[in-house]
């Protein structure tokens, strides 16, 4: 199986540490000499780029003379803030850092497939699954932190005599959410990637272009 050029670099220089980490986690790589996958490397590249952009922007923030990057950051902040309040309510501002990080991370991964020589990590099911599970865990952590053990009452329905029926329904509904989120993002990105590759193949027939 061929890898992206940057994945080959990671496997050449960092195969040992990656293989040791995977073994420690109980998920050994199929090929110890090539433990890095394309989606792993692309995720790391995106995370590093976002960190660099934020680190570059932070000391340049200005109240009276904002630059173009600051304008873009403020537009993104307003969008995430408005979306969070609309979905979660006024309390959503408390979780804005997570919402913002998740939004930028997914957006960057989706757009990465448009860059020649790279691919969208979200077209691999493990990436949407990981994000869905992390969000699922954070969602319930926030609920317990906000309401304490009274949070469990939300699974029992409005009437105590319906608890025996509502509890299994709510549990199944909650467990289905990570699967639903995973399939939706993965299917959309995988289908989009296939359509893009089809058009690229057709373009090469008419106008030779190196991708």
**Which pLDDT score, from 0 to 100, does residue 35 have?**
94
Q: Each residue of 56-88: pLDDT tens digit? A: 998 888 888 888 889 999 999 999 999 989 988
Residue 211, domain member (yes or no)? no
**Which pLDDT score, from 0 to 100, does residue 163 have?**
84
**Which pLDDT score, from 0 to 100, does residue 96 have?**
93
Question: Cα separation of 152 and 124, whole Å?
Answer: 34
**14 and 89: one domain?**
no
Residue in this structure with the two tokens 């860059």, named with its chain if needed: 115
The residue among 94, 138, 112, 95 whose CA lies nearest residue 47 is 112
Task: Give how many domains the chain has, as a whole number.
Answer: 2
Compute CA distances 58 → 51, 73, 74, 191, whole Å: 11, 10, 12, 37
**Which pLDDT score, from 0 to 100, does residue 15 have?**
93
**139 and 53: one domain?**
yes
**Which pLDDT score, from 0 to 100, does residue 63 have?**
84
Residues 88, 90, 95: CA angle, nearest 5 degrees: 60
Compute CA distances 15 → 41, 49, 69, 122, 156, whole Å: 12, 22, 36, 23, 49
Compute CA distances 34 → 7, 15, 21, 178, whole Å: 9, 6, 13, 29
**113 and 145: one domain?**
yes
Residue 169, domain member (yes or no)? yes
**74 and 171: one domain?**
yes
> Do residues 123 and 189 make contact, with C-beta atoms less than 8 angstroms apart?
yes
**Which pLDDT score, from 0 to 100, does residue 206 have?**
59
Helices (H), 29-162: 38-57, 68-88, 96-112, 126-147
Q: Which domain holds residue 90?
A: 39-206
**Which pLDDT score, from 0 to 100, does residue 114 have?**
86
**Which pLDDT score, from 0 to 100, does residue 132 have?**
96
**Which pLDDT score, from 0 to 100, does residue 205 have?**
58
Low-confidence ranges of the chain (pLDDT < 70): 1, 204-211
């Amino acid at each position: 199986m061929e890898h992206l050029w940057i994945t080959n670099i990671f496997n050449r220089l960092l195969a040992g540490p990656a293989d040791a980490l995977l073994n420690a986690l109980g998920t050994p790589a199929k090929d110890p000499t090539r433990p890095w996958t394309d989606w792993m490397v692309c995720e790391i590249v995106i995370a590093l780029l976002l960190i660099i952009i934020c680190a570059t922007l932070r000391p340049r923030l200005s109240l009276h003379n904002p630059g173009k990057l600051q304008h873009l950051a403020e537009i993104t902040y307003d969008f995430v803030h408005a979306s969070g309040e609309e979905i979660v309510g006024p309390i959503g501002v408390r979780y804005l850092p997570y919402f913002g990080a998740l939004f930028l991370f997914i957006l960057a991964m989706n757009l990465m497939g448009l860059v020649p020589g790279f691919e969208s990590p979200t077209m691999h099911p493990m990436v949407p699954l990981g994000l869905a599970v992390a969000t699922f865990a954070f969602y319930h952590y926030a609920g317990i932190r906000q309401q304490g053990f009274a949070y469990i009452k939300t699974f029992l329905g409005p009437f105590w005599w319906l608890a025996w029926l509502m509890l299994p329904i709510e549990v199944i509904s909650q467990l289905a959410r990570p699967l639903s989120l995973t399939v939706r993002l993965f299917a959309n990105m995988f289908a989009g990637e296939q359509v893009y590759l089809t058009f690229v193949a057709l373009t090469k027939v008419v106008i030779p272009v190196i991708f």
